[in-house]
């Protein structure tokens, strides 16, 4: 019995442990869809290829397993570019398979004649085309290896329509061996470990900055163990938030909130960066790392060490291996009493949140957006996943979040890509079907992939979407207001749209909220409905996030 090239690809995907395939159908890639159906791989078909890419991205962020997206030729490939770029900047393992016109139709102007490989090369780790049907299994396995080895990232595999449709004898194919064990991870030398511990022991105010690299290394438990062994407080970013429960003596919060507060208040004199990079989330040129602090950076990728910031000690190592070695070597040591530093750090980290929580809304009869973010955060602290999408809305969510568990938070990465929210939340529900998933999104960002409410209904993914509706592209509007004045607000205002009514047309549960007391009951009813839901909350259009206010002032200086 012969099989198609698409069926061969699906068989390898199954062997590699793929459970969900995200995509949008097109004739060029139908053999893969048919093969996945036969292999019992769930096909989550979206309404836009960008959403399929974002879902694959989010699946990888949450599970550590490569997300797989399949899109058709031409515009199918171009539509997923934004999602691939988003994964690329955040080093997320993702495999994208794109269709292409048949090999024999080169230069004949066939339907959707476009080469995807050169388009994808600048935003992927690895980008290849398959010309021989017999090599499809080999290339699919190689794509997974490239996506997950070293520093992870997205890869692209282009397979022409006639290559996917070709029929072959299974016994004639070379089926790749799927490795049972993870390859060895780079470890720090014993000398490097002792050097790091000596620097931490000599510091009076050490701080750990744990980035997404800790989560992708599977090192959240090791991070907690090391922080406890050395009595060192932690701030974290992305999915690593909650590895050390925030609000505990050692868990201070996120980079944007707690990190900025510490830089302005109880400044650390040593920073240990674990799987974190200098850039947007460390404050950019206005770094949250004090200029007087000594810096140790540990990263699996040597080129990352010292990029964008001064580093006193750089170590190339996997975060899990490094933390295990550091904890083992730290245990016999006597560590200084850091109670005063822990108290000072906790006070500084909590000051900004307390100030925001107590600040009145700019318009007394409006709901403050931080109130919405705080209510949402409180509902998912112990059980649930929070996704955040938007400009100022993202900042409010970052500040309000009190993460208690790792891997339960999805926000923006370095691309700052709006529209991730609905796809990220849908993937989160697939990854954690027994937990509530709430998306906190701005009214601008919800419009970018709004039709994915249909995907939620068709695939029975009961997420709750909470819209922070300030009738504007808030971050852009507020930048104009602060930098240029209220009379220069141009192209950044939206209408007071009833998004819940539009979502209701897809069949979702819908609520509209204009009173602050109604926020939590409305969200609780939405969760209890057991259906995809949209809760549209009208908020103060003039409430400017502290992060945006600071950026606008810096930009006008």
Look up the CATH number of the domain holding residue 159. 3.40.50.970
pLDDT tens per residue across all 557 residues of the chain: 899 999 999 999 999 999 999 999 999 999 999 999 999 999 999 999 999 999 999 999 999 999 999 999 999 999 999 999 999 999 999 999 999 988 888 777 777 788 999 999 999 999 999 999 999 999 999 999 999 988 899 999 999 999 999 999 998 888 887 665 566 789 999 999 999 999 999 999 999 999 999 999 999 999 999 999 999 999 999 999 999 999 999 999 999 888 888 888 789 999 999 999 888 778 776 788 988 999 999 999 898 898 877 899 999 999 999 999 999 999 999 999 999 999 999 999 887 677 666 665 555 578 999 999 999 999 998 899 999 999 999 999 999 999 999 999 999 999 999 999 999 999 999 999 999 999 999 999 999 999 999 999 999 999 999 999 999 998 888 888 888 888 999 999 999 999 999 999 999 999 999 999 999 999 999 999 999 999 999 999 988 887 666 665 555 54
Total domains in the chain come to 3
The rounded distance, in Å, linking the Cα atoms of 18 and 10 is 9
122 and 209 in a single domain? The answer is no
The answer as to whether 82 is a domain residue is yes
The rounded distance, in Å, linking the Cα atoms of 220 and 216 is 9
Q: Among the three residues 122, 139, 172, which one is the final residue of a domain in this structure? A: 172
225 and 128 in a single domain? The answer is no
Which of 362, 377, 353, 358 lies closest to 470 in space, CA to CA?
362
199 and 168 in a single domain? The answer is no
The answer as to whether 179 is a domain residue is no
Residue 288's pLDDT is: 86
Q: What is the pLDDT of residues 508-531, one digit of tens each?
A: 999 999 999 999 999 999 999 999
Please, which residues bridge with residue 315 across strands?
298
258 and 332 in a single domain? The answer is yes
The rounded distance, in Å, linking the Cα atoms of 508 and 532 is 5
The rounded distance, in Å, linking the Cα atoms of 1 and 187 is 48
CB 544, CB 477: distance < 8 Å: no
Exposed (0-12), middle (13-18) or buried (19+): which is 14, by Cβ within 10 Å? middle
- Report helix, strand or coil for 236: strand
467 and 544 in a single domain? The answer is yes
**Which DSSP state fits 312?**
S
Strand order across the 409-410 sheet:
409-410, 385-389, 437-442, 464-469, 533-538, 509-513
Residue 352's pLDDT is: 67
335 and 196 in a single domain? The answer is yes
Give catalytic residues, as residue numbers.
28, 49, 112, 416
C-alpha 117 chain-centroid distance? 25
Q: Can you give the CATH number for the domain in which 196 is found?
A: 3.40.50.1220
137 and 258 in a single domain? The answer is no
Q: What is the pLDDT of residues 271-280, one digit of tens each?
A: 999 999 888 7
367 and 340 in a single domain? The answer is no
Residue 388's pLDDT is: 97
Residue 221 CB contacts under 8 Å (≥ 6 apart), including other chains: 243
* Domain assignment of residue 376, given as a range: 362-556
Provide the 10 A C-beta neighbour count for residue 355: 11
Phi, psi dihedral angles at 128 (to 5 degrees)? -140, 160
The answer as to whether 409 is a domain residue is yes
The rounded distance, in Å, linking the Cα atoms of 398 and 254 is 7
CB 131, CB 158: distance < 8 Å: no
The answer as to whether 421 is a domain residue is yes
Please, which residues bridge with residue 274 across strands?
210, 298
CB 255, CB 237: distance < 8 Å: yes
89 and 211 in a single domain? The answer is no
The answer as to whether 178 is a domain residue is no
394 and 487 in a single domain? The answer is yes
The answer as to whether 354 is a domain residue is no
Q: Among the three residues 319, 348, 377, which one is the final residue of a domain in this structure? A: 348
216 and 87 in a single domain? The answer is no
140 and 232 in a single domain? The answer is no
pTM across the whole model? 0.94
The answer as to whether 184 is a domain residue is no
Encoded tokens for 434: 């027994």
The answer as to whether 185 is a domain residue is no
Q: Among the three residues 317, 348, 379, which one is the final residue of a domain in this structure? A: 348
Residue 309's pLDDT is: 75
Which of 162, 153, 173, 151 lies closest to 129 in space, CA to CA?
162
């Amino acid at each position: 019995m012969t099989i198609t090239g698409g069926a061969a690809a699906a068989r390898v995907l199954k062997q590699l442990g793929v459970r969900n395939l995200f995509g949008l159908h097109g004739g060029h890639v139908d053999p893969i869809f048919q093969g996945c159906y036969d292999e019992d791989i769930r096909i989550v078909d979206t309404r836009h290829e960008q959403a399929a890419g974002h879902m694959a991205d989010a699946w990888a962020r949450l599970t550590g397993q490569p997300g797989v997206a399949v899109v058709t030729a031409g515009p199918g490939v171009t539509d997923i570019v934004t999602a691939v770029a988003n994964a690329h900047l955040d080093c997320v393992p993702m495999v994208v398979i794109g269709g292409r016109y048949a090999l024999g139709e080169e230069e004949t102007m066939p339907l959707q004649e476009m080469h995807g490989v050169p388009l994808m090369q600048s935003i992927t780790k690895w980008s290849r085309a398959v010309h021989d049907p017999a090599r499809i299994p080999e290339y699919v396995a190689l794509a997974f290896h490239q996506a997950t080895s070293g520093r992870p990232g997205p890869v692209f595999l282009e397979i022409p329509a006639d290559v996917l449709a070709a029929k072959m004898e299974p016994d004639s194919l070379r089926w790749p061996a799927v490795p049972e064990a993870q390859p060895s991870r780079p470890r720090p030398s014993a000398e490097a470990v002792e050097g790091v511990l000596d620097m931490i022991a000599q510091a009076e105010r050490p701080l750990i900055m744990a980035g997404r690299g800790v989560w992708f290394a599977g090192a959240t438990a090791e991070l907690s163990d090391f922080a406890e062994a050395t009595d060192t407080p932690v701030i974290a970013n992305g999915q690593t938030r909650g590895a050390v429960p925030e609000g505990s003596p050692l868990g201070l919060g996120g980079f944007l909130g707690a990190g900025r507060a510490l830089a302005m208040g109880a400044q650390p004199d040593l920073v240990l960066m674990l799987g974190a990079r200098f850039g947007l989330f460390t404050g950019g040129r206005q770094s949250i790392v004090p200029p007087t602090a000594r810096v140790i950076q540990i990263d699996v990728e040597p080129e990352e060490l010292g990029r964008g910031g001064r580093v006193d000690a750089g170590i190339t190592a996997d975060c899990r291996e490094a933390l295990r070695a550091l904890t083992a070597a730290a245990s016999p040591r006597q560590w200084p009493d850091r109670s005063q530093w822990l108290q000072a750090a906790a006070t500084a980290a909590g000051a900004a949140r307390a100030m925001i929580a107590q600040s009145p809304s700019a318009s007394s009869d409006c709901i403050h957006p931080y109130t919405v973010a705080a209510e949402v955060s409180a509902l998912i602290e112990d059980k649930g996943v929070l996704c955040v999408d938007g400009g100022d809305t993202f900042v409010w969510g970052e500040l309000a979040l009190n993460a208690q568990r790792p891997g339960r938070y999805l926000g923006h990465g370095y691309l700052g890509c709006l529209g991730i929210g609905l796809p990220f939340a849908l993937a989160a529900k697939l990854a954690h079907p027994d937990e509530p998933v709430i998306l906190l999104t701005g009214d601008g960002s919800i419009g970018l992939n709004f039709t994915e409410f249909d995907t939620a209904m068709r695939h029975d993914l009961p997420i709750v979407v909470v819209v922070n509706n300030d009738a504007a592209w808030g971050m852009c509007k507020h930048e104009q207001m602060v930098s240029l004045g209220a009379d220069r607000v141009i192209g950044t205002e939206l209408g007071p749209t009833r998004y819940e009514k539009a979502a209701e047309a897809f069949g979702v549960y819908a609520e509209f909220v204009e009173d602050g007391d109604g926020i939590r009951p409305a969200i609780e009813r939405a969760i209890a409905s057991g259906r995809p839901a949209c809760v549209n909350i009208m908020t103060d259009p003039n409430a400017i996030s502290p992060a945006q206010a600071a950026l606008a002032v810096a930009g006008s200086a």
